[in-house]
Amino acid sequence: MPSSSHEVYDRWFTLGDQADPRRARMHALVERLRRIGDAVVLLDPETSQDAHLALAEEAADQLERQVAVLPHHRNHGTAAGAPVPASMLSERSPISGRMNVAAPPLTLRYRPDVTTASVTYSQLSEGPEGGVHGGVVAASFDELLGVAQMASGAVGYTIELTVRYLRKTPLHVAVTYEAWVAKREGRRIQVDARSTADGVTLCEATGIFLAMQETPVDGTTGTSL
């Protein structure tokens, strides 16, 4: 059991910050793939020239072959079972993972008082015209609230998530999330949050988490489920 919520956070999110040069190159590769995805999502198939499309297909085939020969953690079955730091949420999460092409990604900063996240959503996250898909917003809150709950002294799983959409979350604009522990009653942890852009509140959220056990993060007392 880690000795503090800071150590839990470090184990899940920050070891990848001290990436070796090769992992940093991997992060840069994934970011390039995100940019490609951002460009591809609005391609016009009706007016695309066959010759240009063929060149793109050839390049994609070559990239797929090159990636296939790189070492992989497939033998672990799931990313969560892979060695650190590959198993960390900051690497594999679909919301904040730097090695996950599907992630926007959120950049999380844990503090005991207010946990923050920052992100600029690309075209890949579009729902309403010019805005972020509501499901992506909800998933972003779930990730943030899950990190913020550690300030309560325990770690649990989401059992309820409520998001109030006050305004459209914009694409291509820096969005800031903030979350804080509102209260804890036994194993139930309530975390509240909001998102803003240019000083304007976009959404508010509340998450209820159920701690896995009564034992707090510092490991001093409690009983297992």
Which CATH number is 171's domain given?
3.10.129.10
* d(C-alpha 189, C-alpha 183), whole Å: 6
How many CB atoms within 10 Å of residue 210? 15
pLDDT given at position 183 = 94
Report the candidate in 7, 32, 77, 75 with the shortest Cα–Cα distance to residue 218: 7
Q: Tell me, yes or no, whether 218 lies in a domain.
A: no
pLDDT given at position 155 = 85
Q: Tell me, yes or no, whether 221 lies in a domain.
A: no
Q: Tell me, yes or no, whether 223 lies in a domain.
A: no
pLDDT given at position 219 = 42
Strand order in the sheet with 200-211: 107-109, 115-120, 174-185, 188-197, 200-211, 156-165
Q: Tell me, yes or no, whether 222 lies in a domain.
A: no
* d(C-alpha 149, C-alpha 209), whole Å: 8
Q: Tell me, yes or no, whether 74 lies in a domain.
A: yes
Q: Which residues of 73-104 are buried (b: 16+ CB within 10 A; e: fewer)?
A: eeeeeebeebeebbbbbbbbbebbbbbbbebb
pLDDT given at position 112 = 84
| Segment-wise mean pLDDT, segments of 10 residues, the chain, 225 residues | 57 60 91 95 92 94 93 74 76 92 93 93 96 98 94 89 98 98 94 97 97 57 32
* Cα dist from 114 to 13, 15, 37, 179, whole Å: 16, 21, 33, 6
Q: Which residues of 133-167 are buried (b: 16+ CB within 10 A; e: fewer)?
A: eeebbbbbbbbbbbbbbbbbbbbbebeebebeeee
pLDDT given at position 220 = 39
Q: Tell me, yes or no, whether 172 lies in a domain.
A: yes
pLDDT given at position 88 = 80
Q: How many domains does the chain have?
A: 1
pLDDT given at position 119 = 98
Q: Tell me, yes or no, whether 42 lies in a domain.
A: yes
Q: Tell me, yes or no, whether 40 lies in a domain.
A: yes
Is there a contact between 127 and 135 (Cβ–Cβ < 8 Å)?
yes
Structural domain for 169, as ranges: 5-211
pLDDT given at position 21 = 87
